[in-house]
Amino acid sequence: MTTERNIIGQREDPDLPRYAGIATFALLPRLEEVDHADVAVVGIPFDSGTSFRPGARFGPAHIREHSRQLHPYHQFHESFPFRDQQVADAGDVGVGPYGIEQAVEEIHSTVARLIEGGSRILALGGDHTIALPLLRAAAAVHGPLAVLHFDAHLDTWDTLHGAAIWHGSPFRRAAEEGLLDFEHCQHVGIRGGVYGPDELADDRRVGFESIRSEEFQHRSIESIADQVRRRLGSGPVYVSIDIDVLDPSQAPGTGTPEVAGITTRELFAVLRQLRGLRIVGGDVVEVAPAYDHAGITGLAAAHTAWEVLALMGLWGPAGDRSGGAAQE
């Protein structure tokens, strides 16, 4: 399957250190600089769906700034995520802060255009509202999607303050619209913010199975990853990672922090067991830099995005495609 392609990797300028110059994601080329992007990293600076602390609109720039230290070689996978596939930074979606429905339309049309151009999307949020238009765009091409959702919260709630679309409802709306493959949706890291047990039952009705944060205390990573793999199956998967899945000590810069979360190491350990997953799109969301300290959250998010890109590369055009990519 390997064909000679002119893939443009990270910036290589001996006179310009990693900390200097304009920060594209991982110092990768901009979309305009490549013939074709297998994966487009796109910022979505939108946080009007936030229910508590605002500020995730500044997430994309913060994540890019903290992605300067991402290097070409992935030591665990023994792969080159930016050589196995062309990854490019598509910039930010031009989306205003007023009117959630309008914003969702704008995000959807921009992302759908990128997908039509043949790119898979990895979005940098933004609050979790943005997952809805991203799921709409991905499902339009791939059909109902398995979802791997890392989050402290369910995000399958109905309305809040009269709003149907907000950062706690993307997966409920997506389920109602037939965008999800109900047998293959998995939460990981669930813990906080529930009014009663009926919300957990409701979440199961929407189609999600949960691995709770506290399960990391007594289960092995292998057992958790096994469950995730079995649940997701071999179809197209959308990966959505809310940075608040991490403990606030590991990611303080977020809008709705919840204590007793998982560590960055646990998150990566699970992700690294998921080689061969057919990832057709994803997001890393809810990075709110105003509450960050020393770039901890920005670093966590940048490296999380890189872990997802590494998985995408392993299944991507020059990857091993062991995930059953035959229909693609």
Residue 156 CB, shortest distance to Mn ion, in Å, is 10
Distance CA 138, CA 112 (A): 8
Considering only the stretches 188-196, 235-243, 245-253, 272-280, report the one whose residues sit in contact with Mn ion under the rule CB under 5 A: 235-243
Identity of the residue, 84 or 155, whose beta carbon is nearer to Mn ion in the bound complex: 155
Decide if residue 292 touches Mn ion (CB under 5 A): no
Provide CB contacts within 8 A for 130, sequence distance 6+. Answer: 44, 46, 107, 123, 170, 283, 285
Instruction: Please say which residue, 89 or 242, places its beta carbon nearer to Mn ion.
Output: 242
Written as six digits, the tokens of 230 are 């079995």
Token pair listed for 156: 């399958």
Give the relative orientation of helices 296-315 and 264-272 as an angle to the nearest 10 degrees.
Answer: 0
What is the phi/psi pair of residue 39, to 5°?
Answer: -130, 125
Which is nearer to Mn ion, 74 or 153 (by Cβ)?
Answer: 153
What's the CA angle centered on 132, arms 309 and 216, to 5 degrees? 55
Least distance CB 193 / Mn ion (angstroms): 10
Neighbours of 73 (CB within 10 A): 11
Helix (H) or strand (E) holding 269: helix 264-272
Question: Which structure tokens are listed for 322?
Answer: 């062991």
d(CA 92, CA 125): 10
Residue 242 binding Mn ion, by CB under 5 A: yes
- Provide the minimum distance between the beta carbon of 151 and Mn ion in the complex, in angstroms, as a whole number: 4
In the complex, minimum distance from the CB of residue 188 to Mn ion, in angstroms, rounded to a whole number: 12
Q: Which is nearer to Mn ion, 34 or 107 (CB)?
A: 107
Nearest residue (CB) to Mn ion, 31 versus 132: 132
Q: How far apart are CA 98 and CA 86, in angstroms?
A: 34
Nearer to Mn ion, 181 or 242 (CB): 242
Residue with smaller CB distance to Mn ion, 23 or 251: 251
From the CB of 245, what's the least distance to Mn ion, in Å?
A: 8
C-alpha dihedral, 109 to 286 to 266 to 158, nearest 10°: -80
C-alpha to C-alpha distances, 172 to 32, 156, 168, nearest whole angstrom: 35, 4, 9
Footprint on residues 136-165 left by Mn ion (CB under 5 A): 151, 155
Rg (CA), the chain: 18
Nearer to Mn ion, 154 or 302 (CB): 154
Min dist. Cβ of residue 20 to Mn ion (A): 34
Q: Which of 120, 128, 191, 278 binds Mn ion (CB under 5 A)?
A: 128
The reply on whether position 84 binds Mn ion by CB under 5 A is: no
The length of the chain is: 328
HSE-up of residue 229 (Cα within 13 Å, Cβ side): 16
Q: How far apart are CA 138 and CA 170, in angstroms?
A: 14
Of residues 42-61, those binding Mn ion (CB under 5 A): none
Taking CB under 5 A as the binding criterion, the range among 82-90, 117-125, 174-182, 238-246 that sits at the site for Mn ion is 238-246
User: Least Å distance between CB 190 and Mn ion?
Assistant: 10
Query: Cβ 71 to Mn ion, closest distance in Å?
Result: 29
In one-letter notation, the amino acid at residue 269 is: A
Annotated binding site for Mn(2+): 128, 151, 153, 155, 242, 244
Candidates 13-21, 128-136, 290-298, 319-327: pick the segment binding Mn ion (CB under 5 A).
Answer: 128-136
For Mn ion, the binding residues (CB under 5 A) are 128, 151, 155, 242
